[in-house]
A and B are shown apart, each in its own frame.
Chain A
């Protein structure tokens, strides 16, 4: 099936998905969405347990958040946290990898672990009657993983090949990884969470065990269960199964705020024969606790967050240059990136990038109008309830509040904050949070021989082959164009 919109804005490697937009239009939706009643318990060893009863369907959704994620990767070896996460279900307790998968899928359950920049998460759903099995599997995965050497070898080799396959079949999916590496340099947000072909090949079982002992432990763990829960069973079992898990051996990694880039530069990734150029234009934005986040969401909705946005209007609706163009902020503990993403036929690469940069200049120069702001407000409010429809949605949302140390007000007050946003606040956001067009990092995947001349004017060019085994060009080989 071919959908109308290209909605894959968040790259696979982006932060845990930013809390969406919006709350509600007229009527009772006008004050937004409210967190349902739930229990929050902190165990003596530091584990946070959250239980959200919602007996609508006989399912229990879970979200396990282990603070740290890719931040805990050893220097020069991105991908360790990602492999650790993948291996948690590849043999644990009394089950080998096959037995673990049989146990989950045999009852129709799901159990999926992954790493992000700031956390490892495990998410899934089980039938309510299988809660004891779910707890047993979680405790085994976290406390008694095997980290079998042959499973590591298999996962590592497969991850390397999957990166190559992605380069063949979906280059746009990787552009955010290239973009962040180019923008953030040595800052942890620049490291590829999935690792790269070169680093993955160097990761050993000692690296995996080192990460597990150093970075995982009770003090990093939040468990959220939502749905048709047996609260007494959950509390009893979590206490029994996890109360002796020690704290992580090492201190939690700390993050410094990255500096915004001050000069425009270009990373050109050569994909010979590509008929289209995929581009990412980014700079450092704002963090998760950014004060004017409601105004930020409204302005980004107008600029590049919905179909009629300024960006999509120019690149798709008016010019027909591209199937789609979007923008977004990735907001972590510290400021992540603001990025524009789109693509255009090879011959039109320069024209499309010019247009994208012009729209950003236009936003900085002209701001937004009151009717525009009202339209964005209705849109964000109208779409918000759809993001909190199921117990699984709440499991994810409450885990994220814990990860970023946000209170319930982050959700409860969002609607009223949206309703109060003024033109002055929107203007402030445009000045502070939106980077200017003259200092953006511009990253392209395309046929370098045919687009090099088109992008030369934007700034110094660094080149990289798409088939290179890293997401950054080795410093010594950087070629500065003019």
Chain B
């Protein structure tokens, strides 16, 4: 559930600098990467890089809110928390204590499609990290007291990201309205009543199915010797038995045949608008064109929508966007934050006219050039770190089916034509296939009445 993080204050915006596309789209390192598949079906990919004495590890689990059902929404994300809460060999908290004591840190994230576990550690901690990572896949414990405590943590996270967050609240409603059949309907954090009521049996079943080695892909980049990594993988992960593959997600979202509009009334000062268009899946061959279209619309001060809405018409204070690249066709999101006194319907007219122009006439050569340069520069900037290398290899392996494709990414971007961008814009920016969300600032008394009802008063 990626949400628009309004980059708050313009003058203090992110300093993270994009770099630039070298004219030659050759990506070094391809020959250094090694991959192997264990007998139980788990794939291990290693990129040795020796500039710093450290390692980045990504463990990709093919399980996200896409694999949930009513009653257990939010379960994939809950696992992201539970995986740190003890095994039959180690108590809750040991995972973090041992890793930190050898200089490692970790994090994890969950999306509609995957759950990913990340570790960053000094090379000397490699053996320990394999021990810890395999232990929690092989021997996860389900302690009722720990589960109840973690429920509270997740609910706190939901309040932070959704209930006390205008953009998050609106995005959850828009996504639920955009998908009526496909499980992308479910919010990754889970519906409140499910967070409060899923049972230990639900957890055990989900874990058995999705945390099987044949459903995992392990990617490491850093100060490593591939053969040593493979030896550790054989020792620690190969004994974990393979499981029957998870049931595929069979439901396909039926064609949307008319615009849907969602209105959220909430106490706020600034109105919000979100557009969510139906868009291709990550592996669609038109993917590079979709990414470039998004960049042309919203990336940077020179982008089409920022310049028009924020700088020229001054009807928005922030414009951003995001293509949800998943296993199944997802959404092409646009997020607008409006000034306090703005009329959302008037802003929508301006936005609609511009998007219609892009869908009809396409984009200019200069816009495409700029987007390509920014995209390739973003790619190089990611490749500058071991973390970025591990992440990109994993993304290509999991979502494009082959890590090798990562090395062709700059060339693929470079080959996209204006006509291809016009075609994909024409297909995606179709009003009949979009869901519109509007957050309307409401009065305090109205909001309080709703809170009282929610509290059962």
Please report A residues at the B interface, Cβ cutoff 8 Å. Answer: 1-7, 12-13, 22, 24-29, 56-59, 61, 82-83, 85-86, 97-98, 101-102, 104-110, 112-115, 121, 123-127, 129-130, 154-155, 157-159, 161-173, 193-194, 272-276, 306-308, 313, 316-323, 343-345, 374-375, 378-379, 381-383, 385-386, 388-390, 392, 396, 467
CA distance A168 to B109 in the complex (A): 25
Within 8 Å by CB of B376, from A108, A124, A396, lies A108
| Nearest neighbor of B366 in chain A, beta-carbon distance | A106
User: Is B433 at the interface (CB under 8 A from chain A)?
Assistant: no
Considering only residues 258-290 of chain B, those with a C-beta below 8 Å from chain A are: 267-270
User: Is B8 at the interface (CB under 8 A from chain A)?
Assistant: yes
CA distance A346 to B164 in the complex (A): 11
The 9 A-B residue pairs with the shortest CB-CB distance, nearest first, are A382-B103, A108-B373, A320-B152, A127-B20, A86-B11, A320-B149, A25-B103, A108-B20, A25-B122
B107 touches A25 (CB 8 A): no
Q: Please judge, given known A-B contacts A112-B15, A379-B100, A383-B120, whether A194 and B20 are in contact too, CB under 8 Å.
A: no
CA distance A161 to B268 in the complex (A): 12
Minimal beta-carbon separation of B140 from chain A (angstroms): 16
User: Is B339 at the interface (CB under 8 A from chain A)?
Assistant: yes
B100 touches A308 (CB 8 A): yes
CA distance A321 to B155 in the complex (A): 9
11 contacts between A and B (CB under 8 A): A2-B111, A29-B54, A29-B123, A108-B372, A155-B11, A306-B105, A307-B106, A319-B152, A321-B152, A345-B159, A382-B104
CA distance A212 to B16 in the complex (A): 25
Q: Please judge, given known A-B contacts A114-B12, A171-B164, whether A323 and B153 are in contact too, CB under 8 Å.
A: yes
User: Is B137 at the interface (CB under 8 A from chain A)?
Assistant: no
A165 touches B269 (CB 8 A): yes
A57 touches B165 (CB 8 A): no
Within 8 Å by CB of A162, from B5, B8, B155, lies B8
B80 touches A107 (CB 8 A): no
Minimal beta-carbon separation of A177 from chain B (angstroms): 10
Q: Please judge, given known A-B contacts A12-B12, A164-B269, whether A306 and B100 are in contact too, CB under 8 Å.
A: yes
User: Is B411 at the interface (CB under 8 A from chain A)?
Assistant: no
Q: Please judge, given known A-B contacts A13-B12, A389-B52, whether A109 and B20 are in contact too, CB under 8 Å.
A: yes
Given contacts A108-B21, A273-B447, 12 further A-B contacts (CB under 8 A): A58-B22, A59-B20, A98-B302, A98-B307, A107-B373, A112-B14, A164-B340, A165-B269, A167-B269, A168-B166, A317-B92, A321-B152
Chain A residues closer than 8 Å to B81, beta-carbon distance: 4
A82 touches B381 (CB 8 A): no
Please report B residues at the A interface, Cβ cutoff 8 Å. Answer: 1-2, 5-6, 8-23, 51-54, 77, 80-81, 84, 92-93, 96-97, 100-111, 120-125, 148-157, 159-161, 163-168, 188-189, 267-270, 299-302, 307, 310-311, 314, 317-318, 337, 339-340, 366, 369-370, 372-374, 376-377, 380-381, 383-387, 444, 447-448, 451
B12 touches A193 (CB 8 A): yes
Chain A residues closer than 8 Å to B111, beta-carbon distance: 1-2
A168 touches B122 (CB 8 A): no
B17 touches A386 (CB 8 A): no
Minimal beta-carbon separation of A471 from chain B (angstroms): 13
Minimal beta-carbon separation of B187 from chain A (angstroms): 10
A101 touches B302 (CB 8 A): yes
Minimal beta-carbon separation of A387 from chain B (angstroms): 10
CA distance A61 to B121 in the complex (A): 26
Within 8 Å by CB of A385, from B11, B52, B80, lies B52
Within 8 Å by CB of B156, from A12, A124, A321, lies A321
Within 8 Å by CB of A386, from B6, B16, B52, B310, lies B52
A158 touches B10 (CB 8 A): yes
| Nearest neighbor of A352 in chain B, beta-carbon distance | B156
Most chain A beta carbons < 10 A, residue from B52, B106, B107, B166: B52
Minimal beta-carbon separation of B86 from chain A (angstroms): 11
Minimal beta-carbon separation of A270 from chain B (angstroms): 10
A125 touches B19 (CB 8 A): yes
Within 8 Å by CB of A158, from B21, B153, B189, B310, lies B310
B9 touches A194 (CB 8 A): yes
CA distance A157 to B111 in the complex (A): 36
B123 touches A27 (CB 8 A): yes
Chain B residues closer than 8 Å to A129, beta-carbon distance: 23
Minimal beta-carbon separation of A341 from chain B (angstroms): 12
Q: Please judge, given known A-B contacts A98-B311, A105-B374, A166-B8, whether A61 and B102 are in contact too, CB under 8 Å.
A: no
Minimal beta-carbon separation of B317 from chain A (angstroms): 4
Minimal beta-carbon separation of B280 from chain A (angstroms): 19
A276 touches B267 (CB 8 A): no
CA distance A104 to B302 in the complex (A): 9
B125 touches A389 (CB 8 A): no
CA distance A278 to B404 in the complex (A): 45
| Nearest neighbor of A375 in chain B, beta-carbon distance | B101
CA distance A168 to B169 in the complex (A): 11
B164 touches A108 (CB 8 A): no
Minimal beta-carbon separation of B208 from chain A (angstroms): 22
Chain B residues closer than 8 Å to A82, beta-carbon distance: 9, 11-12
| Nearest neighbor of B113 in chain A, beta-carbon distance | A1
Q: Please judge, given known A-B contacts A57-B19, A276-B163, whether A162 and B6 are in contact too, CB under 8 Å.
A: yes
Minimal beta-carbon separation of B14 from chain A (angstroms): 7
CA distance A86 to B12 in the complex (A): 8
| Nearest neighbor of B148 in chain A, beta-carbon distance | A320
Chain A residues closer than 8 Å to B311, beta-carbon distance: 97-98, 154
Chain A residues closer than 8 Å to B122, beta-carbon distance: 24-27, 29, 381-382, 385
CA distance A176 to B12 in the complex (A): 15
CA distance A450 to B53 in the complex (A): 51
Chain A residues closer than 8 Å to B189, beta-carbon distance: 2
| Nearest neighbor of A29 in chain B, beta-carbon distance | B53
Minimal beta-carbon separation of B389 from chain A (angstroms): 11
A110 touches B52 (CB 8 A): no
B318 touches A162 (CB 8 A): yes
A343 touches B156 (CB 8 A): yes
B103 touches A4 (CB 8 A): no
| Nearest neighbor of A62 in chain B, beta-carbon distance | B17
Minimal beta-carbon separation of B388 from chain A (angstroms): 10
Within 8 Å by CB of B317, from A106, A165, A308, A390, lies A165
A114 touches B11 (CB 8 A): yes
| Nearest neighbor of A396 in chain B, beta-carbon distance | B15
Minimal beta-carbon separation of A169 from chain B (angstroms): 4
A273 touches B19 (CB 8 A): no
CA distance A24 to B384 in the complex (A): 20
| Nearest neighbor of A167 in chain B, beta-carbon distance | B269
Chain A residues closer than 8 Å to B121, beta-carbon distance: 25, 382
B96 touches A308 (CB 8 A): yes
B12 touches A125 (CB 8 A): no
Chain B residues closer than 8 Å to A57, beta-carbon distance: 19, 22, 380, 383-384
A343 touches B160 (CB 8 A): yes
Q: Please judge, given known A-B contacts A26-B124, A121-B15, whether A162 and B10 are in contact too, CB under 8 Å.
A: yes
Minimal beta-carbon separation of A26 from chain B (angstroms): 4
| Nearest neighbor of B300 in chain A, beta-carbon distance | A105
Chain A residues closer than 8 Å to B154, beta-carbon distance: 323
Chain A residues closer than 8 Å to B18, beta-carbon distance: 108-110, 124-125
| Nearest neighbor of B85 in chain A, beta-carbon distance | A317
Chain A residues closer than 8 Å to B96, beta-carbon distance: 307-308
Within 8 Å by CB of A3, from B8, B21, B108, lies B108
B1 touches A101 (CB 8 A): no
CA distance A124 to B17 in the complex (A): 4
Minimal beta-carbon separation of B417 from chain A (angstroms): 19
| Nearest neighbor of B93 in chain A, beta-carbon distance | A317
CA distance A383 to B377 in the complex (A): 26
B19 touches A108 (CB 8 A): yes
Chain A residues closer than 8 Å to B374, beta-carbon distance: 105, 108
A378 touches B101 (CB 8 A): yes
CA distance A159 to B337 in the complex (A): 12
CA distance A12 to B13 in the complex (A): 8
B124 touches A25 (CB 8 A): yes
| Nearest neighbor of B104 in chain A, beta-carbon distance | A382
A172 touches B160 (CB 8 A): yes
Most chain B beta carbons < 10 A, residue from A171, A344, A389: A389
